Amino acid sequence: MLTETPGSVQEDLRFYECLDQFWHPVAKESEIGDEPVRVTLLEKRLTIARINGELVALDDRCVHRGASLSLGAIEDGCIRCPYHGWAYGSDGEVIEVPANPAVSESLTVALNRYQCVARYGLVWVSLVEEPVFDIPAFPHLDDPDFRVISCDPYEWDCASVRRLENYVDFGHFAWVHDGYLGSRDKPEVGVHETWREDGALRCEATVVEPPSGKMKKHLSGLGDLITARNEYWIYMPHSVLLDRHFEGGARYVLFMAASPISPNRTKSFWFIGRNYALEPDADSEFLDFEWDILAQDKPIVESLTPDVIPSQLGREMYVKTADAITLGYRQWLTEISEPGPSQ
Ligand code: FES
Ligand SMILES: [Fe+2]
């Protein structure tokens, strides 16, 4: 669909509108305590709550006057609106209208309730009954060889699909992350295969990087340059698992799941894992390194226009080898956003 915004070019929202077919993370599980919590997914305001121990996602809009239920309270197995006290059960049905209790018997209105589960310490929501793919796999979280940190999520002013693309944009490492993940002395990107496997776009690439950066401090002794084999799983529509294999058996893992708040606002949930330097005191060094990388990316990604990737792929250009994964990703998005999604 095309929408006209005053003073701007037409925006093509096809790659945004198809996102309601998937699971998305909306909060950390630890945020959901005794009070309901408001989140926004695809511009839809939701309240996430634990009712009788069950995690539920409901419309965050009372059917009476539209008050935000996330300002209300959980009590006696229901969620109570803060405005006039209407109470809703975990299925979203009105069970009490305090101003006239007899009314609640005859009311048939209810809040929409959405699929909601906890996985990896995150709350995942699907706005549809049958999402296209499962929640992405993150096996390293349960692997005793790895120490995994659940990091603080961050929000950027960008489209969720552009957030994902930045993660796997091999051509930018030498420029945006010069000295960290690449070098301007060696900006060429080698050939790498991409393929689809179990709901993920796969890619493997061997890279040679500068040894600088706190994350790599523990890999010292490997020489002036570090060689790594990077294995990527891009779970549609925009989660990514990166498993980095260094010489000597050291492995470093990143898992990121982007969550679309709106066409141009994205919240990213992420984890860092490693099978070396396992002492907890080293966590801050890995976190510092990644926050530095994110600070380098953020202004660039937020500057990209149009906000939403054009569904006509020919409106942007692609460099052979360097943009192979971007093109493969967009081709899959194109199929998904057509009626009758492909897997
Ligand atoms: S707006 Fe919720 S009870 Fe009136
Ligand atoms: Fe980057």
Weakest-pLDDT range from 6-10, 143-147, 177-181, 186-190: 6-10
Distance 145 CA to ligand 2 centre (A): 27
Q: Which residue has the higher pLDDT, 60 or 320?
A: 60
For 224-286, what is the HEC assignment?
Answer: CCEEEEEEEEEECCCEEEEEEEEHHHCEEEEEEEEEEEECCEEEEEEEEEECCCCCHHHHHHH
Q: Residue 215 — very low, low, confident or very high, per pLDDT cuts 50/70/90?
A: low
Alpha-carbon distance of 306 to 320, in angstroms, equals: 22
Tokens representing residue 185 in the block = 């002395």
Q: What is the CA radius of gyration of the chain?
A: 22
Domains of the chain, start order: 23-126 (2.102.10.10), 139-336 (3.90.380.10)
**What local confidence, expressed as pLDDT, does residue 62 receive?**
98
Alpha-carbon distance of 289 to 274, in angstroms, equals: 13
- Distant-in-sequence contacts of 315-319, Cβ < 8 A, 24+ apart: 319/171, 319/189
Distance 34 CA to ligand 1 centre (A): 20
* DSSP secondary structure code for residue 178 in this structure: B
The predicted-structure confidence for 267-315, as pLDDT tens digits, reads as follows 999 999 999 999 999 999 999 999 999 999 999 999 999 988 888 888 8
Residues contacting ligand 1 via CB (< 6 Å): 62, 64-65, 67, 81, 83-86
**What local confidence, expressed as pLDDT, does residue 227 receive?**
83
268: left (phi over 0), alpha (psi -120 to 50) or beta: beta
Q: Which of 58, 86, 107 is the pocket-test mutation for ligand 1 (most atoms within 8 Å of CB)?
A: 86
Going by C-alpha positions, the residue among 111, 82, 74, 77 that lies closest to residue 98 is: 82
The predicted-structure confidence for 160-193, as pLDDT tens digits, reads as follows 999 999 999 999 999 999 988 888 888 888 888 8
List the alpha helices (DSSP H) in 44-176: 101-106, 160-167, 173-176
Residue 267 β-bridge partners? 155, 259
Q: Mean pLDDT, to the nearest integer, of 68-77? A: 97
**What local confidence, expressed as pLDDT, does residue 206 receive?**
87
